[in-house]
A and B are shown apart, each in its own frame.
Chain A
Amino acid sequence: MIRYIARRLLLAVPTLAGIVVIVFLLLHLAPGSPVTAAGGESGRRISGRAAEEMRRLYGLDRPLPERFGKWILRVVRLDLGESFVDRRRVSDRILEALPYTLTLNGLALLLTLLIAIPLGVEAGGRPESAFDRISGAALFALYSTPSFWAALLLQTLFSVKLRWLPLYGVASDPEPSGLAGFADRISHLALPVVCLTYGSLAFYARMVRAGVAEARNADYVLAARARGLSRREALWKHAFRNALLPLVTLLGLVLPGLLSGSVIIERIFAWPGLGRLYFDSILSRDYPVVLALSLVGAVATLAVTLAADVAYAVADPRVRDGTAE
């Protein structure tokens, strides 16, 4: 077992190295540079001499291998460097935005599961029933509704017309304290969470539905029914449990996605998360920030994959012996 884990860990190293090299090269070989991006589209153009000075300051006058070497040496010491844009530590900028993205994506995922699972179980319990067809159609309609459009529509309705919910941001200014402050935060979360949720409902609900529909007629479910369990109990306690396995695997793969914010939703709701940070950093060619965020994403994905592999190995001896298939 330990040998298996060690082997997986060793294999992760070249994968990570590959990702790092590719991201670094893609970024540095792409046209444009922090100098040409300076100030954005509203910025003033920079004269030749000032541009040269800036290149020197950012170390862009050095050859690519040297820049790569310096960066790697820093990363190995867990130093992600400084942002070109505001000269702050990259890790500070990421840690600042991380909680916002985690809250938003985490709540959205939770809400998605809370809605998608019952829908999926109910629909899977009676495939091709009216409920199955109607919920399927509704979910696919939601799935194909563009989120930016829905976001603007919801804002117009709930924030401008009805004035029930704030338009954007994470909190009011000044921020109320205590319970009122908590309610204020929740009200700010409502619309963005809904926008992130409705589109992914179809995905999970249909997946659960497929699992339940398949297990519905299995012997153990029939046996459960024969023992006198109600249809609902049999579905939830037996059929759904079986359908849960692929869902858990899938969730494992989705988890690193919690780290990557949704650029569109974060921009529309002025949500200070990682998606906006990533997007703005790419536009301004803030190499250290883009590299760090890519690296964090890669490491998280690798870690989860590794954990999943190990979990499989624990569960299934054939995997760790290499005798599977």
Chain B
Amino acid sequence: MKKRGFLLLVLLLAACRGEEPKAAVSPVSTRPAAPTPEPVLGYIDESGQGTPAEGGVLHRRLVGEPGTLNAVLQTTLPEQQVLQYVSRNLLDFDSRLRLAPGLAESYEASPDGKEVRLTLRAGAVWEDGTPVTARDAVFTIRRIVDPAVPSTLFKSLFENLESIEALDERSFVAKFREPYAFHAMAFVLPILPEKRYAGKTFTKVRENREPLANGPYRLVSWKAQDSIVLERNPKYFGPPGHFERILFRILPENSVAYRALVAGDLDETIIEESLKERAAHDPAYAECCRTVEFYNLDYNYIAINNRSPFFSDPRVRRAMTMLLDRPGIVRNIFRNSARIISGPWAPDSPAYDPSVLPLPFDPPGAAKLLAEAGWRDTNGNGTLDREGREFDFELLVSAGSNVGRQIDETFAAELAKAGVKANVRALEWASFVERIDSGRFEAASLAWSASDPNPDPFPYWHSSQFPPRGLNSGFYGNPEADSLMEQARREMQEEERVRLYHRLHRIFRDDAPAVFVSNSSAKYAFRKDVAGLVTTPIGFTGIWPGPAGWWKRPAAPAPVEAR
């Protein structure tokens, strides 16, 4: 089985020399007799292996220039990657994605789910030696909910905050209007020093570019579009970081980052499928580097507009799912490092019920469903129609997404065989988002990216969340699903909540509010001497200590490889 997979891969590689991403689309599906093999990509925890070495410089990569180093104004991954060394969160996710102490030593959620009380560590201090206080936390959260502060990342977490008060120097209580099972997760939240911000225009404070650290590292320099350097923060309350300095290079191109890694200029970088394959055949890479691959909670899906005359019938939506050759996509586009999903979660989310099997790739079955829903080719032009309307719609994709385009093209090719015309149209990101968020689209290929383990589908699939106010851009509405989502988000018992999600999952599969495609692996390349890696379903950036716990193995005197 394994060998066959490999042969297929070689053939594909041979076929796509020259124009790599596009050629991977092979819409002609050779249906496999056996199911595709699923690689086992476990999470790794190397934090306990060996004795951490101290000192040295870690060379990391940022794909773009941070806009700010104000922890509550952050919106991008590069900002998060720098800030996680500098600003500790009140609470953190540990490697098992449980809430763990951060700046706060403990938290307590009230049984009714409306109140969270946190107590800060006694020793937590800012870089200037002054203590981190409950007043700082209260100040920060008040700024987040302030309409004049564009804290887009955190704002939604505090949307139904009723009050926030400091109880004493070290503890505070947040009261919410509605009970919510995940209120505590909102406190995986960095905070700002009130004294540096109070009374100033929030977006123009000097600390937005020279943050006052309370984490293991502090900012040394920031050269625009070039680099950011951090060094150990001597006042940090916890165990010091293993590296003396962290050097971030701002490097937009993946292929250049790969070369930098092999040349020893970088210690890690994210890579994509094509680079992973290149690495697999590169002896220089094999000598110095390793690929770290794991499944996270991200997934690809094709959003469809449930209000559109084409897709308002669940039978049609199911037919859409059955017309997408997902086994072929996993094989050809993701080279088998992806898993087909049947609902709006990745398989590693507790909300995902593995017993809810995905609908099969079944064009004859789909044709039957379409006919039942009234779509027939009455005028003999090769395209299905109903009540004078041809089944002909626009399938959007973000121009920057190779995977999205490949999925769209595979989909369109299969739809064409079934008499449905899908016109793939690529839009530049900001225009693409505008169409999606306003609900002005028929169908669009999207990637869901999860930066925390909160599985709550309410903001994206509940019928109260239609555009323009909410993010249910596909206008999906089902009273039964609505009610389950409402119950689940109020259910404080995890076991019961998971049961509700599993029921919901079955409805999502059968209602097919979108075409859920697959959960593919995240891929990174590391120099071999970087040690202490821990990967989780939310990657390594969103957890503690995450990269702050890495170290570099000292170079061995000679490569002693016992045979």
User: Chain A: residues with CB nearer than 8 A to chain B?
Assistant: 30-33, 36-51, 53-54, 56-57, 85-88, 93, 96-97, 152, 155-156, 159-160, 163, 166-170, 173, 267-273, 276-277, 280, 283-285
Contact = CB atoms under 8 A, between A and B. Distances in A.
B349 interface: no
Contacts of A271: 225
A300 B256 CA distance: 33
Given A38-B75, A45-B437, A97-B224, A159 B429 contact: no
Interface stretch (B14-22, B62-70, B113-121, B186-194): B62-70
Given A31-B435, A173-B227, A270-B256, 14 more contacts: A40-B64, A47-B155, A50-B150, A53-B147, A53-B155, A87-B204, A152-B255, A152-B256, A156-B259, A170-B226, A267-B252, A277-B225, A280-B65, A283-B430
A41 B400 contact: yes
A50 B159 CA distance: 10
Nearest to A47: B156
Given A44-B451, A48-B469, A168 B156 contact: no
A267 B253 contact: yes
Contacts of A156: 259
A47 B431 CA distance: 17
Contacts of B262: 160
Contact of B225 (A155, A159, A173, A276): A276
A32 B150 contact: no
Pairs of residues from A and B, 6 with the lowest C-beta to C-beta distance, nearest first: A32-B430, A272-B225, A31-B431, A48-B469, A37-B430, A39-B75
Interface of B: 63-68, 75-77, 147-148, 150, 152-153, 155-156, 159, 203-204, 208-209, 223-227, 229, 247, 249-253, 255-256, 259-260, 262-263, 265, 284, 398, 400-401, 427-435, 437, 449, 451, 459, 467-471
Contact of A47 (B159, B249, B284, B449): B159
A146 to B, nearest CB: 14
Contact of B224 (A46, A96, A155, A285): A96
A272 B76 CA distance: 19
A36 B433 contact: yes
A39 B433 CA distance: 11
Nearest to A100: B225
Nearest to A170: B226
B263 A159 contact: yes
B284 A160 contact: yes
B209 to A, nearest CB: 8
A54 B250 contact: no
Contacts of B427: 31
A163 B471 contact: no
B256 A87 contact: no
Given A169-B226, A173-B227, A49 B434 contact: no
Contacts of A155: 256, 259
Given A32-B428, A42-B449, A270-B249, A93 B159 contact: no
B65 A159 contact: no
A41 B153 contact: no
A272 B255 CA distance: 18
A166 B249 CA distance: 13
A47 to B, nearest CB: 5
Contacts of B75: 38-39, 43-44
A130 to B, nearest CB: 34
A273 B252 CA distance: 13
B247 A173 contact: yes
Contacts of A166: 265
Nearest to B146: A53
B3 to A, nearest CB: 32
Contacts of B204: 87
B265 to A, nearest CB: 6
A45 B473 CA distance: 11
A32 B67 contact: no
Contacts of B153: 39, 44
Contacts of A36: 430-431, 433-434, 437
10 contacts: A32-B428, A39-B153, A42-B76, A49-B469, A86-B68, A155-B256, A155-B259, A167-B259, A280-B64, A285-B430
A160 to B, nearest CB: 5
A20 to B, nearest CB: 22
A298 to B, nearest CB: 23
Nearest to A285: B430
Contacts of B247: 173
B224 A93 contact: yes
A163 B434 contact: no
B262 to A, nearest CB: 6
Contacts of A277: 225
Contacts of A272: 223-226, 250
Nearest to A31: B431
Contact of A173 (B224, B229, B263): B229
Contact of B263 (A38, A40, A163): A163
A41 B451 CA distance: 13
Contacts of B155: 47, 49-50, 53
B240 to A, nearest CB: 21
B259 A57 contact: no
B203 A40 contact: no
Residue from B77, B153, B226 having most chain A Cβ neighbours under 10 A: B226
A286 B431 CA distance: 14
B152 A46 contact: yes
B303 to A, nearest CB: 12
Nearest to B159: A49
A41 B401 contact: yes
A172 to B, nearest CB: 10
A103 B229 CA distance: 24
Contact of B259 (A30, A47, A160): A160
Nearest to B398: A41
Nearest to B156: A47
A272 B225 CA distance: 5
Nearest to B434: A36
